[in-house]
Structure 1
Amino acid sequence: MELASALRPYRETGALVLAIPRGGVPVGRVVADALGADFDLVMARRIDAGVALDGTGKTWHTNDAHADSNTGSLRGAHFDQLCRQRAVYTPVRKPAEPGGRVVIVVDDGLVSGATMHAALASLRKRHPARLICALPIATRAGLDQVRALADELVCLDTPDRIESLAHFYREFRLVSDDQVRQLTGMASAQSPRRAGPGAVPSVPALSKVMLIPYGTTPLRAILESAPNPVGVAVMVHAGDAQRRAARSQYLARKLRAKGLATMLVDLQPDGRVDNAQVSALDDLAARLDQTLSFLRASTPFAGLPAGLLCAGTAAAPALRSAADHPSQLGALACVAGRIDLAGSAALQRLETPTLLMCASGTAESIRIHQRAFEQMHCPRQLNLVPASGCGFDDRKALAEIATLTGDWFERHLANQTRPCLGYRGEEVSSISPGQS
């Protein structure tokens, strides 16, 4: 099928194909089988011009919705129909979870765009790693209604008008409920899947606590992941766990929404504040090395590329460790860290692509980061995050840190090796060492 061929880059990536019933189900089934992807339904239903319902009963309006539309009186009957369809099509299992996954939404065609708009908008709220709208045919006006909701649009033909989808198919049959149920219940034609050479092993959904052996005080690691993550973000700090807990969990959720697994570790669990002395940095570096060794030897994430997100005092041992063991990490991100404590020698030897983030309201922190940035020769970027003081406790600053870190990891853990240097959000490619 031509649509499956256009989606070949997502073959065997752990993608989830979701079809809009009923017409989209035969198309989605073929696409899922060709890609070796999981397959399920996304419930959505047009109820009036420019207005549609999603599977939760929420009403979504496109730009073409009429101001005087009488959708209120129509909503109840249409939502009952959606609930009936879901009960008939998949009576004995829960819907697939799109969070943190590549999600491909398929229908047999798009005219006004209202139904697809509702499907994409409802899925976007569930934080997929990437959301793709895939269609054999769609009007240009209809695509305009959904363009902003998808990370990628794949469409084979875009006529100005569609009077009937049947005119664009060699064979076009109405799909019955029984056919939907049969196609939804089929196992993928690619199952059991066989990973090709160099393919990342499949990782199941995971949420567990593990203990990392270290002396007499094991380190507690919290591992969480949606199925088949594209990489793992190791998140470390040194003490002050009570204040950092909510912030760390927020950042972890955002990174998982990017398709990453997360591993949270406090390198100094007995520390009430993040104020480790310089004399303790070697011990913190040893604890970090043990953490990364444990990641490779004792977790389901052993085969995934790893990025390290560190904060505060943990930044210095992180930089030292990355400089001493350049093959351990694919990317590094430091938030408001005492990176100067790593020492000039470590900064100059660093090869790992490094993102530095500091608060824009602290002159001393800016000076420290600028000086470290100038000493590095690796691919690097320095961002000043709007924040008062040196902390990042407000949600807006945390959201920017999550976005910067997620984008940095996504870029460098995907083996895109072109050197780049950036400063305050601006990126310059192919900068030779020393041209800071």
Structure 2
Amino acid sequence: MHVTGTHFTHFADRTDAGRRLAARLGHVGGPGTVVVALPRGGVPVAAVVARALDAPLDICVIRKLGVPYQPELGMGAIGEDGVRVLNEQVIRLASVTDGQLAEVERRERAELERRARRYRGDRPSADVRGRTVVVVDDGIATGSTARAACRIVRARGAARVVLAVPVAPRDWTDRLEEVADELVCVDTPSPFFAIGEFYADFSQTEDAEVLRLLSEARERERERGREQERAREKERERESDPGSPATASAGVDRELVLPAAGVRLAGRLTVPPDARGVVVFAHGSGSGRHSPRNRYVAEYLNRAGLATLLFDLLTEAEEADRRNVFDVGLLGSRLTSVARQLNSGSDAPPESGTVPGTDAPPESATVPETRGLPLGLFGASTGAAAALHTAAELGPAVRAVVSRGGRPDLAGAEVLGRVSAPTLLVVGSLDTAVLDLNRRAGSRLRCESELSVVPHATHLFEEPGTLDQVAELARNWFLHHLPERGSGAGNP
């Protein structure tokens, strides 16, 4: 059982709560993940999480069984597939009779069936067999509804169940650890009286909003399928004519594996039509390609016409040793190797096996879609030091570097002095220790550089609007410093 949580904070609304929760769930993203929301209040939270994880969104309709004379106090819950969970302690203390319990259950069962028909229509529930299921609600009070939801998805064949909520009481793990493989919570404040007290806006989620969010998620899923089919078609075209170069107008979104120093690193390559540059994201920990914050910034850059590669600098086994996260030499050498392959047109043969964490076969080390594109680097955490290490190694081939809440100081004075690429250091104003380290590192840079401080932001840029500012700063920096395709961009 793995548990993630921090300390008390207020959420602006359910969307804000979803952003903060998504920031803690990057490690569970991937093709095998499904996000399941508890309607209605859990749907706005889960919609943000599903988008950040690039995962399908489904619902698990649960109805709380409230004490007759105090409906907000749950004495149990019922769910789809006939699941029924009772809190015997609450029933006993509230002196609820069998007749009262039966009447509440009858009424809630009718409402459950109505909502299931309204939200899902004739569509079946998502197939979760053998997959990781992230169960999301807007908070935990007694835990009855969450317990029922976890039991349902487990009964439907989920291989792994992650229960994720923005806020819960301190003892929530004691109540729910046996129904989930992992518990993730942003805040566990004390005292705890009601979920709504931790939201500035906890207004009721209406059916119309639930239907809208589910419809948008289904459309994203259909578009994902269309993109995959287009990518497969492009791949078939390349296979039928291996000598033809990738065209500048082709859009690409695919998983790939790149060899680097004896290991295979999984990544996600997105190339919008007529891309004007490519930005490689470096994160010090593993699963960098699933980082919700990096994915958010990458999507922002994609909309601006920049290609992005998000990949894992460490393998899953290596990440377990925290010393590797701070091994800048290791991280930098791998990033340099990957950066060279983006523009080199290497003819290395395809590797055998599968993409880690997926059933997909790896691609060749050749990345024809990025050939000739000017190169930028985006580093987060210790990945910022790795980015500067690569910029120093590749010289003018790297056209721009952006660091988000990074540790450029770990690159060392000698490396910092050799960086020629224009470098932007972005730090939250409330991240005082890292801000001071960035100021010191910035003073050692001999290239064009700038320190941009995002007001009211902490280290993870979880505060409303702060990550948007990071994305905008990065976009402007790259667009300003990456030359247009064909205007003299160098190759690593």
Q: TM-score of the superposition, structure 2-length normalised?
A: 0.41
Greater RCO (Cα-Cα under 8 Å, separation 6 or more) = 2
Whose helix proportion is higher, 1 or 2?
Answer: 2
Q: TM-score of the superposition, structure 1-length normalised?
A: 0.46
